[in-house]
Structures are given as structure tokens and as C-alpha cells.
Amino acid sequence: MQREKINTFLVNAFNTILQLEDRALSSSHEFSNLSVSEFHVIEAVIACGDSSSMSAISKRLGITVGSLTVAVKTLANKGYLKREKRLNDMRMVYVIPTEKGLAANEYHSAFHRKMVDAVMEKLPPEELDTLVSALEIVSNFFTETREAR
């Protein structure tokens, strides 16, 4: 019975979060031309900071460099990202966000902040600590599983 409840929770939570995120992000007139996946690519580029090489970004997202190349080209054409080479190594391509990309990422981050704030408001501190511990275990499992592939 516990196994079934955990499975149902994980599947429902994952699907619901994706649906809510898609609805929230697509309701923006300013960023209506971006998919959830594209928001996540922009987020990964920013998270990589100065190490935003194609290989670092693809590793962070868990996708191939080829798939990332297609996404970056699309986002560059839309004006959210740009590719550049650095003088010290002209072979490497780095991806950096434009002002438009930074604004899109802030909009996406605001959705996540609201989601987390809504959960935190409903739980007393001791239950919040328990939730964080449990979510760390779940997160570690997914990370280890992904890296084992």
C-alpha cells in the first residue's frame, strides 16, 4: 500500500507540476513563444555561468550536445541566447543569455518561487524540515539514477 501511494504521488506531482508550469509560462504574453523546455535551457545556461560551454550545459540538462545545439539555435534566433567564442580558445563555443533571456529566466524563477512559497505557507517548521529531508532523498535517487546511465 505504501509503495502504491508513493508511486501515485510521484507520478501525479511530476505531471501536475509540468502542467502548472506550462500553463503559467505560456500565459505570459512577453514569453509566449517559449516552451517549458526552452525556459529550462535558458535556466541551465545561466546556472552554468562562465562555464557555459555546450558540453557543460548539455550535461546539466541530461541531453546530448546535438539536441542542445538545436535548442540553442532556436533560442538564438528568438533573441534569448547568443553563441560566442573566446579569444583564449576559439574551438569552444560558449552560450550566454541576452537581456531578453535574463528576463525570461526571471519570469520562470518567479513561478518556482511562488510554488515553493505556497507549499511553505501550509506547513509548520517541523513538518517542513521533514519534507526537505524526504525530498533530498528523492532528489539524490533521481540524480544517482541519471548519472548511472
**Residue-wise pLDDT tens digits, 73-92:** 999 999 999 999 888 878 88
Q: Number of H helices and number of E strands within the chain? A: 6, 2
pLDDT confidence of residue 85: 87
**Residue-wise pLDDT tens digits, 7-60:** 999 999 999 999 999 998 888 889 999 999 999 999 999 999 988 999 999 999
* Domain harbouring 57, CATH code: 1.10.10.10
What is the residue range of 143's domain?
2-148
User: d(Cα 46, Cα 98) in Å, to the nearest integer?
Assistant: 10
Q: Which helix (H) or strand (E) is 91 found in, with range?
A: strand 89-97
- CA distances for 98 relative to 60, 75, 86, angstroms: 20, 10, 17
* pTM assigned to the model: 0.87
**Residue-wise pLDDT tens digits, 17-32:** 999 999 988 888 899 9
Q: How many domains does the chain have?
A: 1
